[in-house]
Structure 1
């Protein structure tokens, strides 16, 4: 009888603990200080090697994503924007906006293998697990460079008709990319490299971050006029228009929890729940820090990582605040 009572007490305590964690919600778990000066853009996670890659000035800082400890630095990446991971080949790719090149590096020892010439001002980049190609989106030349990671050769250049931002794959042969200056999402075939459709973003201005729910074929795009648009990837139909914070430049979707997170440069994270394929609601707004405008999701822990720094108070209203040297950091959020 006594053993039975103790078991019941333990189960009750465990239940209360789980409920308490659920109620606690998304919160800041850790701040990983990197220091030094320079701007930043995208982050990428290498799940296989447990590393977090952070673009920073003219280099990429590599952290152990579990501890935040420095693993190494990849130097000489002028105007760095994005990082793509190809675990099957043990390689990574970095876009260098100022040199119109893509750096190829070794995932194990972080040494540079080669440089690939791409379009002008290469920005976002990702590896498509379906076509087995690396796609680089070039902001100034308004096109996408396609790299075969088997050979590290450019196999195609796709004219996009505008300034591309982030891109995603549906895992079935279609690539979607935001076109910032004409408020569109362009879709092209990942094997023929031909554009198939263009979706006009009604009510959305200057789209930047883009995410996808492959299970429901829903696209999430964040726009400069403080809205997230949800579209049907197959038809372009607008499903939802949701309010987010100012200065969003990134969005991620967690397929396991059905939550989308918009990282807003004003210093907030907008959490959107996918109730069903046709119903989306803003669940909450979580405080982050000013400047934390890009984000990456750790699919294993469901944690979010956002880079930012501390800033001086601007003497002129509306003027962009100056970063305080040595304060660059990565914020880690989770439950």
Structure 2
């Protein structure tokens, strides 16, 4: 993987590239906006959240979270940055959006991919490669507690939430992994006609 990440700024009306910005981080995932001129950008391999000026993309702060952060969301009602980390330290965390102070940290399932916030039921859900959904209850800005773990299917990690009723839609397909080669790499082959959409309703 390259030792840097490149962002492109486009004109929303024409699609014309306006600017190219290079960051000295190996992997950066999707940022979150506070709607007031700031972006919160996760740098996964470096375990930090960057605070950027949304117009210039200049760094204004850098917050260490101590794990491979890949998901961040800004929650306006609590002024918190909610996020989660993957790899060997799968973790949910909540940050003060002004200072970067960690106000909560909880374990989640292994192999994070999906991250949903149910604002009606005050829950956060992560979907994980190990065949689980981690459900977290939220009580105000700083109150977070594990509600439970829901079993899904091994490898079912891509998830979307229907915000009308809180249903979770998780996709998966059966697969076969080859034995590791000399470099320890495996090849995954998905089975024909095995694609499924798993649906989970909140209670």
Q: Report how many residues are paired.
A: 195
- Structure 1 runs of 4+ off > 6 angstroms? 313-316
Partner of 1:329: 196
Q: Which has the larger Rg?
A: 1
Q: Find the residue that maps to 2:45 and give its secondary structure.
A: helix
Give ranges in structure 2 of 5+ residues lacking alignment: none
Q: Deviations over 1:102-159 (max 9, x none)?
A: xxxxxxxxxxxxxxxxxxx9xxxxxxxxxxxxxxxxx875022222221211222233
Partner of 1:254: 118
Question: With structure 2 as the length reference, what TM-score do the two structures score?
Answer: 0.84
Superposition map of 1:185-334 within 5 A: 185-202=49-66, 204=67, 206-223=68-85, 224=87, 225-312=89-176, 322-334=189-201
Superposition map of 1:1-20 within 5 A: none
Mapped to 1, the partners of 2:79 and 2:24 lie a distance apart of: 24
Q: Find the residue that maps to 1:181 and give its secondary structure.
A: helix
Mapped to 2, the partners of 1:229 and 1:215 lie a distance apart of: 17
User: Does the aligned pair in 1 maintain the 2:168–2:199 contact within 8 Å?
Assistant: yes
- Residue in structure 2 matching 1:145, options 8, 22, 30: 8
Give ranges in structure 1 of 5+ residues lacking alignment: 1-120, 122-138
1:280, distance to aligned residue in structure 2 (A): 0.6
Return the structure number with greater helix share: 1
User: Does the aligned pair in 2 maintain the 1:210–1:252 contact within 8 Å?
Assistant: no
Q: What CA RMSD, in Å, does the superposition of the two structures yield over aligned residues?
A: 2.4
Q: How has the CA–CA distance of structure 1 residues 140 and 328 changed in structure 2, closer, same or farther, with 3 Å as cutoff?
A: farther
User: Does the aligned pair in 1 maintain the 2:93–2:104 contact within 8 Å?
Assistant: yes
Q: Deviations over 1:39-60 (max 9, x none)?
A: xxxxxxxxxxxxxxxxxxxxxx
Q: Please identify, of 230-239 and 186-195, the stretch whose mean Cα deviation from structure 2 is larger.
A: 186-195
Mapped to 2, the partners of 1:241 and 1:165 lie a distance apart of: 20
Partner of 1:168: 32
Q: How has the CA–CA distance of structure 1 residues 149 and 279 changed in structure 2, closer, same or farther, with 3 Å as cutoff?
A: same
Superposition map of 1:4-153 within 5 A: 141-153=4-16
